[in-house]
């Protein structure tokens, strides 16, 4: 009897289990199991415990990525490739596109990629046909191609993943193992949200404005834009954001496709990731939307790590770069003044310490002012970099006249802050005490600004995309490095005692030190001629002559006063002539550039740089050597004279069938600025060697030698 009851009890027991909501083993999805390589484990997992006829279910490709490796978003960024799925499905079953989770920004050298690390779920909606029979099963299979990359290498991994899903009527509960995680990804994934967006391309700057939807009236603090298509923006370049009552404004560096076309060829689509959520937008070309700005700055995406580790590295590089900056050619005139000042106070420890600290203060204050101005201009959308001030003919002319005035002061033509009675007290007595030391620090920064020393380029490139307190701290570390040798000696009585005592030799040294400053003035006059042509140079020379006459008259008046006379007429005449000098300098700065001026000339046959020129040469199978230079960059000129003009270099270029391109930054050029930023640089020099078949160029050292260039061309 008991044996007979066993058969009818089985369907009864199954029915009871279904009524209680308990799924028997045969109603559960059957995973084919994870597939694994050395770098990634992946499997196909379900959102729910079964699929229902005529519904859309969701599966997900679960990736468990090894530490140090990553996979990619739909737009991988500057390298790599997105995960792709090739499905094998039963008849009538359709797999839709991946629901992409918000990616991470992944800096990789000079590149910026978008992708994932650790564990990630890629959900995929699956449409189940109405004809699917409850009680049956569906075998769902996909061939997944992952690009799994580290900082050193990238490996394509192909894994075949399968999942068997039961078909049942009625709503299905979540899968107990993966359902909640998949549901969270789906709920948080970017999606359209009724946001109106517009895009404007102005040269190399792409401005996005977005208003309405969840952005209106929101407390926005940060924004990052992930474009759906590569080439629309420069992924690695820094961005600036601003919030408004109805939305936000985001200024981005245009990508190569936008710059090549010179206009927007279609809507700019992508994901706006903000502190209140991530939303898909499609920005059509048009003017900025009202209400998208005016309420303060937003934190926007940067090219470099802005955490403590990235900041510490940038600060260290800045300190090292500042130290090396003391050895760069453009700082030589100031080094002489520093040495003379040390000698003057060598046997007065208190005065030496005061001057050392004053020199440090002059350096730091000037670096802070230049850095602050640079960051403010960049926040306003200006495409500028380190040394930006010398791209202005007005600044170049003013500095040339300033160097001339310093030289005339050292030559004894006039005196600052002291009468002739103090003329023999030291080479910088006319710039008395701490004031003279402070002013020497100011001059050191002004003259050093066009230079970029090793380590300094990486530090400044990182600083320009950090939050402003970190950026200013990096610039201050650069100033500390520049001032540190002088400061260390001035605070070391033992070292100071080794210097000779002051005497008549210091007056002769003072007169000798005037000539490096005359040379600096002539060099700046030449830079102005390269920027604005011969007419500007003629006006500047006239201004220099009037300045020299004015300061001579002032000096004569000072001499008369030292001898008990008033000297008023000389002083008045000096001021009048000084006004004439200023007027001529203003006219020189306003001369428009002459066609063909400002292009750096090199001994090697060259062509102007452009992204199109690089691409055209590479398409022909020719390597490309690009020289990012400026006429005001002394290091650039020395490299060009020593390493880029020799017969060996010319022969190596010819044998390699290489193209030599010059990117001249003497005057402001937004395209060159954007390319420097793309390479993590804020100034020149920069030397790139592009090779056919290689994704990224080789970056040559900032201090070139003939051997380095020849080796790079022959060892491609």
Pick the CATH number of 192-300 from 1.10.150, 2.40.50, 2.60.40, 3.30.9: 2.60.40
Where is pLDDT greater, at 626 or 411? 626
How much of the chain is helix, strand and coil, in % rounded to 5? 45, 25, 35
Whether residue 133 contacts residue 167, with contact meaning beta carbons closer than 8 Å, is answered with yes
Give the pLDDT confidence score for residue 112 in this predicted structure: 86
Q: Once rounded to an integer, what is the mean pLDDT over residues 363-380?
A: 75
Check residues 364 and 493 and name the one with the higher pLDDT: 364
Label residue 435 by pLDDT band (50, 70, 90). confident
Residue 406 is predicted with a pLDDT of 78
- The residue written with tokens 């008033």 in the block is 566
Between the ranges 313-327, 454-468, 573-587, where is the mean pLDDT highest?
Answer: 573-587
Long-range residue pairs from 252-255, CB within 8 A, at least 24 positions apart, any chain: 252/205, 252/206, 252/207, 252/208, 252/225, 253/204, 253/205, 253/206, 253/383, 253/674, 253/677, 253/678, 254/201, 254/203, 254/204, 254/205, 254/206, 254/674, 255/230, 255/231
The distance between the two most distant Cα atoms of the chain, rounded to a whole number of Å, is 141
Lowest pLDDT segment from 39-53, 182-196, 619-633 = 619-633
Nearest to 227 by CA among 218, 236, 219: 236
Q: Answer with the residue of higher pLDDT: 370 or 194.
A: 194
Mean pLDDT of 652-664: 90
Looking at 170-179, 220-229, 342-351, 498-507, which range is the least confident one? 498-507
pLDDT at residue 10 above 60?
A: no
Our CA angle for 636, 640, 641, nearest 5°, is 120
For residue 513, which phi and psi values (nearest 5 degrees)?
Answer: -70, -15
Residue ranges of alpha helices (H) inside 109-255 are: 179-188
Q: Between 18 and 91, name the one with better pLDDT.
A: 91
CA-wise closest residue to 524 among 445, 468, 446:
446
Residue 596, both tokens: 């063909």
Q: Which of the following CATH numbers is that of domain 607-714: 3.40.30.10, 2.40.30.20, 3.30.70.260, 3.10.270.10?
A: 3.40.30.10
Determine whether 716 is exposed, middle or buried from the number of CB atoms within 10 Å of its CB (0-12, 13-18, 19+): middle
Report how far apart, in Å, the C-alpha atoms of 243 and of each of 1, 214, 221, 223, 299 are. Answer: 81, 13, 8, 10, 10
The pairing of strands 137-149 and 240-243 is unpaired
Percentage of residues of the chain with pLDDT beyond 70: 78
List Cα–Cα distances, 693 to 455, 620, 621, 710, in angstroms: 29, 11, 8, 20
Quick one: tokens of 115?
Answer: 């992708």
**Domain spans, the chain:** 20-188, 192-300, 308-590, 607-714
pLDDT band at 261 (very low <50, low <70, confident <90, very high): low
In whole angstroms, give the CA distance from residue 330 to residue 87. Answer: 63
Q: Which pLDDT value is given to residue 316?
A: 83
Of 299, 279, 283, 301, which is closest to residue 216 (Cα–Cα)? 279
Mean pLDDT of the chain: 79
Per-residue pLDDT tens digits for 102-119: 999 888 766 788 999 999
Cβ–Cβ < 8 Å for 697, 688: yes
Cβ–Cβ < 8 Å for 166, 29: yes
Specify whether the CB–CB gap between 350 and 480 falls below 8 A: no
pLDDT at 9: 46
User: Residue 3's pLDDT is what?
Assistant: 40
Q: Identify which has the larger pLDDT, 496 or 658.
A: 658
Alpha-carbon separation of residue 696 from 236, 253, 638 (angstroms):
14, 19, 27
pLDDT given at position 252: 87
495 or 441, which is more confident? 441
Q: What is the pLDDT of residue 143?
A: 94
Q: Does 3.30.1280.10 match the CATH number of domain 20-188?
A: no
- Rounded-to-integer distance, Cα 549 and Cα 563, Å: 21
Query: Over 70: is that where the pLDDT of 169 sits?
Result: yes
User: 445 versus 23: which is more confidently predicted?
Assistant: 445
Whole-angstrom Cα distance, residue 578 to residue 544? 10
- Checking if the pLDDT of 246 tops 60, the result is yes
Higher pLDDT, 346 or 551: 551
Could you identify the residue written with the tokens 């936008």? 258
Instruction: Please tell me the predicted confidence (pLDDT) of residue 388.
Output: 58
Mean of pLDDT values over 539-544: 88
Higher-scoring residue by pLDDT: 144, 151: 144
pLDDT at 342 over 70: no
Q: Over the stretch 40-69, which tens digit does the pLDDT of each residue have?
A: 999 999 999 999 999 999 999 999 999 889
Alpha carbon distances (Å) from 429 to 338, 412, 434, 499:
13, 11, 10, 18
Q: What is the pLDDT of residue 716?
A: 59
What's the pLDDT at 12? 42
pLDDT score of 304: 38
pLDDT of amino acid 305: 42
Does the structure show a pLDDT above 60 at 379? no
Q: Phi and psi (nearest 5°) for 490? A: -65, -25
Q: Which two tokens stand for residue 426?
A: 């030291």
Residue 529 CA to residue 50 CA, distance in Å, equals 78
pLDDT given for residue 465 in this prediction: 54
Please state the three-class secondary structure of 101-152 as a single string.
CCCEEEEECCEEEEEECCEEEEEEEEECCCCCCCCCEEEEEEEEEEEEECCC
pLDDT band at 381 (very low <50, low <70, confident <90, very high): very low
Separation in Å, CA 422 to CA 242, 354, 425, 426, 631: 56, 19, 5, 8, 39
Q: How confident is the model at residue 395, as a pLDDT?
A: 77
Kindly state the average pLDDT of the residues 303-313.
55
Q: What is the mean pLDDT of residues 18-28?
A: 44
Judged by phi (left if over 0) then psi (alpha if -120 to 50, else beta), residue 598 lies in left
Q: Does the fold of domain 607-714 match that of domain 192-300?
A: no
pLDDT above 70 (res 343): no
pTM above 0.75, yes or no: no
**Which range among 283-292, 305-314, 535-544, 549-558 shows the weakest confidence by mean pLDDT?**
305-314
């Amino acid at each position: 009897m008991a044996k007979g009851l066993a058969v009818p009890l089985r369907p009864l027991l199954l029915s009871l289990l279904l009524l209680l909501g308990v799924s028997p083993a045969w109603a559960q999805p059957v995973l084919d199991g994870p597939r694994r390589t050395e770098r990634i484990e992946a499997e196909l997992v379900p959102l729910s415990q079964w699929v229902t006829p005529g519904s859309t279910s969701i599966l997900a490709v679960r990736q468990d990525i090894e530490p140090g490796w990553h996979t990619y978003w739909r737009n991988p960024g500057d390298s790599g490739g997105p995960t792709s799925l090739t499905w094998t499905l039963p008849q009538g079953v359709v797999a839709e596109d991946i629901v992409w989770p918000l990616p991470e920004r992944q800096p990789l050298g000079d590149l910026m990629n978008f992708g994932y690390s650790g564990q990630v779920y890629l959900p995929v909606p699956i449409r189940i046909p109405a004809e699917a029979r409850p009680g049956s099963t569906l075998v769902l299979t996909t061939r997944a191609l992952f690009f799994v990359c580290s900082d050193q290498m990238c490996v394509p991994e192909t894994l075949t993943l399968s999942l068997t899903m039961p078909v049942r009527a009625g709503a299905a509960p979540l899968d107990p193992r993966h359902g909640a995680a998949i549901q969270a990804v789906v709920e948080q994934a970017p999606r359209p949200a009724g946001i109106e967006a517009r895009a404007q391309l102005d040269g190399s700057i792409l401005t996005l404005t977005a208003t309405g939807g969840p952005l209106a009236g929101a407390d926005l603090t940060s924004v990052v834009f992930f474009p759906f298509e590569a080439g629309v923006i420069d992924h690695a370049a820094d961005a600036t954001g601003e919030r408004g009552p109805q939305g936000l404004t985001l200024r981005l560096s245009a990508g190569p496709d936008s710059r090549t076309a010179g206009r927007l060829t279609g809507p700019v689509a992508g994901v706006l990731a903000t502190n209140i959520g991530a939303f898909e937008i499609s920005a059509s070309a048009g003017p900025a939307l009202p209400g998208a700005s005016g309420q303060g700055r937003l934190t926007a995406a940067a090219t470099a790590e802005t955490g403590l580790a990235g900041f510490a590295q940038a600060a260290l590089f800045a300190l090292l770069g500042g130290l090396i900056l003391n050895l760069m050619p453009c700082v030589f005139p100031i080094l002489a003044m520093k040495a003379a000042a040390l000698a003057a106070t060598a046997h007065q420890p208190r005065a030496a310490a005061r001057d050392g600290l004053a020199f440090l203060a002059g350096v730091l204050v000037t670096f802070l002012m230049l850095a602050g101005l640079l960051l403010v201009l960049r926040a306003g959308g200006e495409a500028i970099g380190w040394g930006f001030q010398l791209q202005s003919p007005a600044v170049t002319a003013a500095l040339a006249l300033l160097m001339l005035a310093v030289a005339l002061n050292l030559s004894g033509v006039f005196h600052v802050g002291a009468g002739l009675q103090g003329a023999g007290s030291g080479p910088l007595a006319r710039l008395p005490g701490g004031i003279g030391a402070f002013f020497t620090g100011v001059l050191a920064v002004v003259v050093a600004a066009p230079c970029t020393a090793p380590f300094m380029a990486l530090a400044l490139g990182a600083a320009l995309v950090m939050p402003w307190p970190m950026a200013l701290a990096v610039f201050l570390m650069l100033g500390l490095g520049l001032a540190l040798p002088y400061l260390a000696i001035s605070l070391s009585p033992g070292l100071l005692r080794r210097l000779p005592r002051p005497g008549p030799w210091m007056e002769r040294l003072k007169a000798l030190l005037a000539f490096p400053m005359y040379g600096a003035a002539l060099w700046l006059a030449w830079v102005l001629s390269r920027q604005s042509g011969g007419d500007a140079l003629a006006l500047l020379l006239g201004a220099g002559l009037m300045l020299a006459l004015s300061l001579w008259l002032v000096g004569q008046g000072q001499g008369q006063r030292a001898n008990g006379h008033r000297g008023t007429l000389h002083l008045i005449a000096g001021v009048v002539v000084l006004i004439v000098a200023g007027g001529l300098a203003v006219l020189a700065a306003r001369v428009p550039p002459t066609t063909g001026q400002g292009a750096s000339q090199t001994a090697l046959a060259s062509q102007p740089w452009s992204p199109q020129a690089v691409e055209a040469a590479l398409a022909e199978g020719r390597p490309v050597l690009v020289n990012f230079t400026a006429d005001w960059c002394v290091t650039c000129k020395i490299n060009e004279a020593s390493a880029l003009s020799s017969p060996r270099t010319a022969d190596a270029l010819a044998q390699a069938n290489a193209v030599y391109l010059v990117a001249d930054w003497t005057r402001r050029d937004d395209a060159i600025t954007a390319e420097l930023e793309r390479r993590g640089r804020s100034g020149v020099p920069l030397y790139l060697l592009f090779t056919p078949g290689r994704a990224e160029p080789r970056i040559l050292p900032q201090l070139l030698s003939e051997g380095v260039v020849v080796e790079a061309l022959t060892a491609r």
